[in-house]
A and B are shown apart, each in its own frame.
Chain A
Amino acid sequence: MTKRHLVSGLAAFAAAGMIGAAQQAPPAPAQPASKAVVIKGRAPVSNEILKVTLPRPHEADLPNGAHLMVLEDHRVPQIVFQIVIGGAGGYVDPADSPGLASITATMMREGTSAKNTAQISEQLERLASTVTVATGLASLDATISGSTLTENFGETFKLAADLLLNPTFPDEELQRYKQRTRSGLVQQRANAGFLASEMFSRVIYSTHPASRVSLTLPVLDKVTRAQLVDFHHARYVPDHAIIAISGDITMAAARSAIDSALGTWKKGNTPAATAQDPPPLGVPRIYFVARPGSVQTNIIVGTQAIDRLAPDYDRVQVMNEVIGAGPTGRLFVILREEKGYTYGAYSGLTATRFRGNWSANTEVRTEVTDDALRDLLAEVKRLRDEPVPDKELQDKKRGLISRFALSLESPQTVLQNHVSLRTYKLPVDYWDKYPERVSAVTQADVQAAAKKYLDPSRLQIVIVGDPKIGDLLKKYGTVETYDVDGKRIGG
């Protein structure tokens, strides 16, 4: 039997060198442009892309206007459900009370005409079920989500319906909620990642609801029980709701649970909420949050991009895949694997019913802030200036398409895909044609998307870190400096 041994350092350098040499000879076998990743190509890879079929849910329109979607999956004795209430999200908050929808949602589980908050907790936790009501600060929808063992579905769904239909918003619990939440609002300002994302959202979305990443103390302090009651009454109507249930359940069992628990949920005849795009971006700036005591610098570079229905959506998604969606993206490979600046470097795309953002982010030790920012911006520039090598593009597209198989493990994810078809009014064969659409994206498409969306005149830079790095940022543009409480203190 061969003795295990360690490949010597010399041999490894030789292998890397050979790959490097091969790269210079056209046509290059496309490697990521970094010696940090070397493809020896000896591992057995199946080139077949598994044809997967997305299971389809049973669907029905209910008399009160809600739409029901049920995806059966009996492999484990568990049921997950969502009641998505269109028009009850933070997007529709009154201008003077941003966060009202969010507080209303949270407070719905603090008491109903039948049960107080302690009884609700006790019942849920005795059943090992969960029910939560939540909305994003800029979301159009509020969502009641629940999960339960099959045998406790009836009782759990009834409780969810009770929270939806009969919340009493006890004033005593509202005061307690305010007290608990105030501390959280204080505490989150200690987190550099929070400060970075707060500043970034403010810069990208200015007055748009998407600029909010957190409740604020003034709104929390002044919100009243009467406001919650009114918001709930006006907004929690079934007219635009989707009830999505997946797991160990049948359509008939779902219908019967809904008939018995939600029979009194009547149409409100309210129009559907619509979303507006955020105002255009301002001139590019460097927004620096000076955070004393920082040993790392948080960097976010980003811009407004597209909404979910933009014709460019697939192309921008592939572009994002190339530069930084995962550990094989260029940002991770260069900033971490080659340079060792960081634990991670990624990019992301947010595209919903209004124009969202593309952003790249990383956290690096203070001393390499300048190098990391320079290299990150160089990668954005390279995406604009050079076509993506064909092999790299094919790899990224194959990854995106093949990954779809993994989502089939989770009935919730499968159903969520169908819910998004409905939410965005996408064609029913949208997911069936997904591989075809992604495959069709070309090198020129990716470069064109980068030129269009990642133009330097559109890129905003947010930096959170030690006050001493403020000076070195000046060479990247006009710097505005803020303290950790968001007050402008210079620049």
Chain B
Amino acid sequence: MSRSFRWLVAAAVMVVFHPLLAAPGQVQFSDTKLANGLRVIISEDHNAPVFSLTVTYNVGSRDERPGRTGFAHLFEHMMFKGSEQVGPGEHFTLIFDNGGDMNGTTNVERTLYYETLPANQLDLALFLEADRMWSLDITKENLDNQRNAVQEERRLGVDNQPYGKTFEAVDRLAYRNPAYKHSVIGSMEDLNAASVDDVKGFFRTYYAPNNAVLAVVGDVKTADCLAKIRKYFDRIPSQPAPPKVDETEPPQTQEQRLTIDDALARLPRIDIVYHTPPALAPDDDGLTVLAGVLSSGRSSRFYESIVRQQQLSANVSASSTGNRGPGLFRVAATVLSGKSVEDLEKAIYAEIEKVKNGPIADWEIEKTRNNYRRTMVNNTATSLSRAVSLSRYALFWNDPNLINTYADRIGAVKAAEVQRVAKKYLVPENRTVVITMPKAASHD
């Protein structure tokens, strides 16, 4: 089958440069919207003859309808099975055989595809991404094949791993909102139910230029790169906006608790989660610093007290949310041999109470501030990490310049704010506790 390229001169195009961001260490970029709604971010870096391209679609597991959990990720696999001008498997073959790297990744909030290549292969990367945004080659055979691969991915990451099912149990119990209740990998049953029609409908709705951000970072010239992007992407029509995701979560009023058995685990584990606002909501900065104070590194409260002094666990982690929708502040720990899960749980709560009511030292705040400065540096250190960060900030919060400003936000958080959010969110009625107990597998 053949089709000629139609070249379209973009009518209404908005280009925003950030010339004021020339301070040392600041990332400079252009931010353009094509006529079809595709947002394009370009950031030059000529230190190595390499570029990275990311296409981030505004679709994740939260967009899945009931009975189709795991579909966004299964769909991601289908994006490598061919499009109008590209054969099944040709995409990754061309990238790797020309010295590049590529992959796709799906989470709750988005689906991201990337290519990193030597600088002379910009046309190749743009052609491949444009062709599969334009058309997708969907067959039952390809779908069945990737369904198998994804089911093996689930077995590898979940069903054959100790604590694999714990992650699913935590979210299922903690959330009421179905968009956030299920795992990204989905259930075997729902994966089996996915049909070619589902793939077609999903493609039409979500894989539209107005639902994506394209970022190119590296050894490219902005004007030349933008012209090429227009050449490949302008013909792809926009689509009606996808349905909005319900981002509400009713307040939790009493503690929820569950104990599960795990035939593959050898030691008990405890997971404690608290409902929080979305990432980058006003209270999230304090919660992010709180996670750092509690668990970042060996100088953290959890490590020094629970791991080193009390020797109840080998590691206790804490993290704030990355969700645009309802968040969870997560604490997780495995019990050390011979110690009790009850003692570990009590010790975790005791440390949380100490943060709420006792002093927080200046160095603990300084530590988190410096950590985020380093994170910002790392976000700009490779073309891929820079492209991923710019796209995420653009897609989620309509502000790619957060790549330059986010660390300052975290740096401005004071100890009193950390205590305020700890008192507000880390309370018993707001928590969900899942305990995973080892259970000997039956021999058959």
Residues of A close to B304: CB separation below 8 A: 118, 121
| B155 CB-CB contact with A under 8 Å | yes
Q: Contact check, B90 vs A295: say whether CB atoms are below 8 A apart.
A: no
Digit string of B310-348 for contact with A (CB within 8 Å is 1, else 0)?
A: 010010000000000000000000101100000000000
Residues of B close to A400: CB separation below 8 A: 99
**B372 → A minimal CB distance (Å):** 8
Residues of A close to B147: CB separation below 8 A: 340
Q: Contact check, B149 vs A342: say whether CB atoms are below 8 A apart.
A: yes
Contact of B134 among A4, A11, A337, A398 (CB under 8 A): A4
Digit string of B79-100 for contact with A (CB within 8 Å is 1, else 0)?
A: 0001111111110111011111
Digit string of B132-173 for contact with A (CB within 8 Å is 1, else 0)?
A: 001111111110111111111101100111100000000000
Q: Which residues in window 1-56 of A have CB below 8 A to B? A: 1-7, 9, 11-13, 15-16, 19, 32, 36-40, 42-46, 48-50, 52
The docked-state distance in angstroms from the alpha carbon of A197 to that of B371 is: 35
The docked-state distance in angstroms from the alpha carbon of A363 to that of B265 is: 19
Given A6-B200, A46-B121, A396-B97, verify A187-B307 contact (CB < 8 Å): no
Digit string of A134-162 for contact with B (CB within 8 Å is 1, else 0)?
A: 00000000000000010000000000000
| B267 CB-CB contact with A under 8 Å | yes
Contact of B139 among A9, A327, A363, A399 (CB under 8 A): A9
Q: Contact check, A9 vs B120: say whether CB atoms are below 8 A apart.
A: no
The docked-state distance in angstroms from the alpha carbon of A43 to that of B134 is: 14
Q: Contact check, A11 vs B1: say whether CB atoms are below 8 A apart.
A: yes
**B336 → A minimal CB distance (Å):** 5
| A128 CB-CB contact with B under 8 Å | yes
Residues of B close to A363: CB separation below 8 A: 152, 155-156, 160
Q: Contact check, B83 vs A7: say whether CB atoms are below 8 A apart.
A: yes
Number of A residues with CB within 8 Å of any CB on chain B: 93
Q: Contact check, A1 vs B235: say whether CB atoms are below 8 A apart.
A: yes
Residues of B close to A408: CB separation below 8 A: 47-50
Q: Contact check, B124 vs A4: say whether CB atoms are below 8 A apart.
A: no
The docked-state distance in angstroms from the alpha carbon of A403 to that of B99 is: 4
| B25 CB-CB contact with A under 8 Å | yes
| B299 CB-CB contact with A under 8 Å | yes
| B420 CB-CB contact with A under 8 Å | no
Q: Which residues in window 379-422 of A have CB below 8 A to B? A: 395-396, 398-406, 408-410
The docked-state distance in angstroms from the alpha carbon of A126 to that of B299 is: 9
- Tell me the nearest residue of chain A to B162, going by C-beta: A190
Contact of B135 among A1, A7, A410 (CB under 8 A): A7
Residues of B close to A206: CB separation below 8 A: none
**A195 → B minimal CB distance (Å):** 11
| A192 CB-CB contact with B under 8 Å | yes
Q: Contact check, A180 vs B311: say whether CB atoms are below 8 A apart.
A: yes
**A269 → B minimal CB distance (Å):** 36
Q: Contact check, A122 vs B363: say whether CB atoms are below 8 A apart.
A: yes
Given A12-B82, A48-B120, verify A343-B363 contact (CB < 8 Å): no
Contact of B296 among A125, A179, A326 (CB under 8 A): A125
Given A125-B298, A343-B153, verify A78-B377 contact (CB < 8 Å): yes
The docked-state distance in angstroms from the alpha carbon of A134 to that of B147 is: 41
Digit string of A258-289 for contact with B (CB within 8 Å is 1, else 0)?
A: 00000000000000000000000000000000
- Tell me the nearest residue of chain B to A9, going by C-beta: B139
**B301 → A minimal CB distance (Å):** 12
Q: Contact check, A2 vs B235: say whether CB atoms are below 8 A apart.
A: yes
The docked-state distance in angstroms from the alpha carbon of A181 to that of B148 is: 37
Residues of B close to A292: CB separation below 8 A: 263, 441-444
Q: Contact check, A295 vs B267: say whether CB atoms are below 8 A apart.
A: no
The docked-state distance in angstroms from the alpha carbon of A184 to that of B313 is: 10
| A440 CB-CB contact with B under 8 Å | no
Q: Contact check, B373 vs A340: say whether CB atoms are below 8 A apart.
A: no
The docked-state distance in angstroms from the alpha carbon of A405 to that of B51 is: 10
- Tell me the nearest residue of chain A to B151, going by C-beta: A365
| B393 CB-CB contact with A under 8 Å | no
Q: Contact check, B92 vs A6: say whether CB atoms are below 8 A apart.
A: no
Q: Contact check, A326 vs B96: say whether CB atoms are below 8 A apart.
A: yes
Given A126-B363, A183-B334, A404-B99, verify A38-B82 contact (CB < 8 Å): yes
Stretch at the interface among B56-64, B249-257, B283-291, B378-386: B378-386
Q: Contact check, B380 vs A76: say whether CB atoms are below 8 A apart.
A: yes
The docked-state distance in angstroms from the alpha carbon of A181 to that of B336 is: 9
- Tell me the nearest residue of chain A to B365, going by C-beta: A126
Q: Contact check, A180 vs B98: say whether CB atoms are below 8 A apart.
A: no
Contact of A37 among B88, B136, B334, B382 (CB under 8 A): B88
The docked-state distance in angstroms from the alpha carbon of A403 to that of B8 is: 34
Q: Contact check, A398 vs B87: say whether CB atoms are below 8 A apart.
A: no
Contact of A45 among B6, B124, B162 (CB under 8 A): B124
**A165 → B minimal CB distance (Å):** 21
The docked-state distance in angstroms from the alpha carbon of A454 to that of B310 is: 52
| B367 CB-CB contact with A under 8 Å | yes
Residues of B close to A409: CB separation below 8 A: 47-48, 50, 382-383
Residues of B close to A117: CB separation below 8 A: 298, 308
**B436 → A minimal CB distance (Å):** 12
| A445 CB-CB contact with B under 8 Å | no
| B203 CB-CB contact with A under 8 Å | yes
| B366 CB-CB contact with A under 8 Å | yes
Q: Contact check, B88 vs A36: say whether CB atoms are below 8 A apart.
A: yes
The docked-state distance in angstroms from the alpha carbon of A78 to that of B381 is: 9
**A199 → B minimal CB distance (Å):** 17
Residues of B close to A77: CB separation below 8 A: 25, 377
Residues of B close to A126: CB separation below 8 A: 299, 363, 366-367, 370
| A224 CB-CB contact with B under 8 Å | no
- Tell me the nearest residue of chain B to A7, going by C-beta: B137
Q: Contact check, A405 vs B151: say whether CB atoms are below 8 A apart.
A: no
Interface centre among A126, A176, A400, A401 (most CB of B within 10 A): A126
Digit string of B6-17 for contact with A (CB within 8 Å is 1, else 0)?
A: 101000000000
**A25 → B minimal CB distance (Å):** 18
Digit string of A223-242 for contact with B (CB within 8 Å is 1, else 0)?
A: 00000000000000000000
Residues of B close to A340: CB separation below 8 A: 144-149, 152
- Tell me the nearest residue of chain A to B116, going by C-beta: A406
Interface centre among B152, B153, B159, B237 (most CB of A within 10 A): B152
Digit string of B100-129 for contact with A (CB within 8 Å is 1, else 0)?
A: 110000000000000011111101100110
Contact of B118 among A50, A186, A337 (CB under 8 A): A50
Interface centre among A3, A16, A400, A406 (most CB of B within 10 A): A406
Residues of B close to A4: CB separation below 8 A: 134-135, 204, 236-237
Given A4-B236, A122-B299, verify A36-B89 contact (CB < 8 Å): yes
The docked-state distance in angstroms from the alpha carbon of A405 to that of B116 is: 10
The docked-state distance in angstroms from the alpha carbon of A11 to that of B138 is: 10
Residues of B close to A3: CB separation below 8 A: 237
- Tell me the nearest residue of chain B to A1, going by C-beta: B237
| B297 CB-CB contact with A under 8 Å | yes
Residues of B close to A2: CB separation below 8 A: 3, 6, 235, 237
| A189 CB-CB contact with B under 8 Å | yes
Residues of B close to A124: CB separation below 8 A: 297, 299
A-B contact pairs, 16 of them (CB 8 A): A9-B196, A43-B86, A45-B98, A46-B124, A75-B381, A125-B300, A126-B363, A176-B311, A180-B307, A186-B267, A187-B266, A294-B160, A340-B148, A343-B153, A363-B152, A410-B382
Additional A-B contacts beyond A180-B314, A406-B116 (10; CB < 8 A):
A3-B237, A4-B134, A13-B139, A45-B121, A187-B266, A296-B159, A337-B145, A343-B153, A398-B97, A409-B382
Instruction: List residues of B whose CB falls within 8 A of some A CB.
Output: 1, 3, 6, 8, 25, 45, 47-50, 82-90, 92-94, 96-101, 116-121, 123-124, 127-128, 131, 134-142, 144-153, 155-156, 159-162, 196, 200, 203-204, 235-237, 263-267, 296-300, 303-304, 307-308, 311, 314, 334, 336-337, 363, 366-367, 370-371, 373-374, 377-378, 380-383, 441-444
Instruction: List residues of A whose CB falls within 8 A of some B CB.
Output: 1-7, 9, 11-13, 15-16, 19, 32, 36-40, 42-46, 48-50, 52, 73, 75-78, 117-118, 121-122, 124-128, 149, 176, 179-184, 186-187, 189-192, 292-296, 326-328, 333, 336-338, 340-344, 363-365, 395-396, 398-406, 408-410, 467-468
